[in-house]
Every structure is written in C-alpha cells, then in structure tokens.
Chain A
Amino acid sequence: MTGSDSAARGAAAAPDAVKILIAGGFGVGKTTMVGSVSEIAPLRTEEPLTMAGLGVDDLDGIERKQATTVALDFGRITIGDDLVLYLFGTPGQQRFWFMWNDLAIGALGAVVLVDVRRPESSFAAIDFFERRGIPFVIGVNGFHGEHPYSPEEIRDALALPEGTQVLLCDARERGSCREVLVALIDQLIATSARGDGAAVGPAAAS
C-alpha cells in the first residue's frame, strides 16, 4: 500500500476514491439519480462564480441571486474498505461549463441523462464527453417511468456515435440507475480488456 507513514495505529488509511459524472440538461433528473444510488442523501456544495472566471460568462439578464453561485450535487457509494465511488451531478446550465473541466479530470466515465421531451438540452453534454474522449452511456430518463421511444429511435435522434449504449431508465429507481452504471462499467471493462483507449466502444451487452 501507499501509506508511507504507516504509524497507522487506529488511524484508518484513506480509501481510494474514484468518480463517475452524471450529466445532462437542466432539470433532467441528475440529482434524482445521484440520490437514488447514493448511500447518503445527495450533498451540495456551492461555488461562487467570481472564482472561476466571471469575466467570460455572459451574465446579462440573469438575476443576480442566481448568478452568484453554482451548485454541485454529489453522492457516495462505498465499494469496500479500500474503495469509494463518488457520483457528481454536473451543473446543468451551459454557462457553468467552465467547471466541467475540473470535474471531468480523473473521472472513470459519465452517464448523460436525456429527457425525450427536450433531448436538445443534453446535446452539449454529449458533445463535451465525445470531444474529450471520456467514455459515456446515455440514460433516457422516462418521466413517470414512461418510454415512448425505443433506444434505436433515440440513438438516431441524438446522432450518437456507433456503439454508444442507450439505456431506458427511471432516475427515481435505484435498480434502474444501477443498471445504467453497470452498463458504463461493463463498457469500460470491455475497452480495458481490449487494451485500446477507444472512448466509445461497443459494449458486450448492447
């Protein structure tokens, strides 16, 4: 193990930490999904916008109160004594994207949630991960659990790269969210087993 100063008398060694991002348009169900699988109620941290480059943001017409902070919701899944998985719901508003670069560094991958009633609100998230070569799967969050479109129709509508997994889900259901996360991990396992770094690999299951 890494702990060089193993004067670890009772002092627990810090577990490894990894993260997965839950992205998608504003109000698509990101925090709901984080809450469904997290062992703790979703936590929120707020960051003043002045820190990260207010100058580059067009804040015209935005109420001052809304413009002052950007919130980040996250949850935690303890995998074992030595490994903890964090889920971060990315800020949905486009003007807060400068925060995403920091968020994306070191992420295993991402789930992009899509609301079929307004899929365009998730285009930018898809584009973001595609361009950075960050592996992702699409979770179609059916509101009230309804899914009027098939995964194929959605794949066409979103013009997704070949092999991108599209999963119908319900962000309110733990089991459903788990399936989406497992699909992402299986895709990473398939990619890793092949030894290539392809961002989007046809997953074994799709």
Chain B
Amino acid sequence: MSGGDTAGRLVRPFTLTGGRTKPDRTDFTLITSVTAVDPQPDGGPRPQPEHLRILRLCERPVVVAELATLLDLPVSVITIMLCDLLRVGRITVRPPRPVSRTPDLELLQKVRDGLDRL
C-alpha cells in the first residue's frame, strides 16, 4: 500500500482513544490546566499506559498544549484521554482565565509588569 507511513501517522494516535475522534466534553482548550489528583483514587479500571504517562506529566499543573507536545500526540487525542481521566476522578481541570472584551486592569497590569521583567 502506498503512503503507508502517512496513513499510519494519522491513524495510530486514535487507537489510543479506542477509535474515538471527538471528546465528550468540548471545554478543554489549549491552555486549560490539568493536575493529577494526589493521592490517586483507589479502584476503578486500571489506567492505560498512555493515561499513566499523562498522569505522571501532570503531577504538577500543565496545560493541554504542553501535554500534547510532551507526548508528541495531537491535542485532539490528548483531550479525549483527559476526558477519560476526568470521568474517573484522576485529574482536576482548571479552565483558562476568562477574557472579556474589557479584561480587568489588574490582570493586564500584571502581564505588563511581567513583560517589563523579560
């Protein structure tokens, strides 16, 4: 079969999700922060190896985009696996700071001060 490599690269990540290509939650963003619950809950199904890798990486808070890079997997695949982990209570999730049309001055000033220190 021609183009086997290309097809493999496309298809393989989704075997990790049992063929699912859509998450059951849509509120994971690129900068949603994920943290492993410590200690991990007892019981429940044993996590898959890739799930365990995620759990190790998010012992400290890490955002979805960084997880995708660290595991070299598409964000869409990571998101589906995070949904699994969230459902069984193994991770907590923190959404990004909401940004309105007029973000609060305190936040902006903080960002500006941080840039000044660069």
Contacts and interface: CB of A to CB of B under 8 A. Distances in A.
Interface of A: 2, 5, 10-19, 37, 43-48, 50-51, 64-65, 68-69, 72, 74, 76-80, 83-86, 88, 102-103, 105-108, 133, 174, 178, 181-182, 185-186, 188-189, 191-193, 195-197
Interface of chain A, helix or strand or loop or mixed? mixed
B96 A106 contact: yes
Nearest to B105: A192
Interface of B: 3, 6, 9-10, 13, 21, 29-35, 38, 60-61, 63, 65-66, 68-69, 74-76, 92, 94, 96-99, 101-105, 107-116, 118
Contacts of A185: 108, 111-112, 115
Contacts of A77: 114-115, 118
Given A45-B69, A102-B29, A51 B76 contact: yes
B69 A17 contact: no
A100 to B, nearest CB: 12
12 contacts: A5-B92, A10-B38, A48-B10, A77-B118, A79-B110, A83-B110, A108-B99, A133-B101, A181-B115, A188-B108, A192-B102, A192-B105
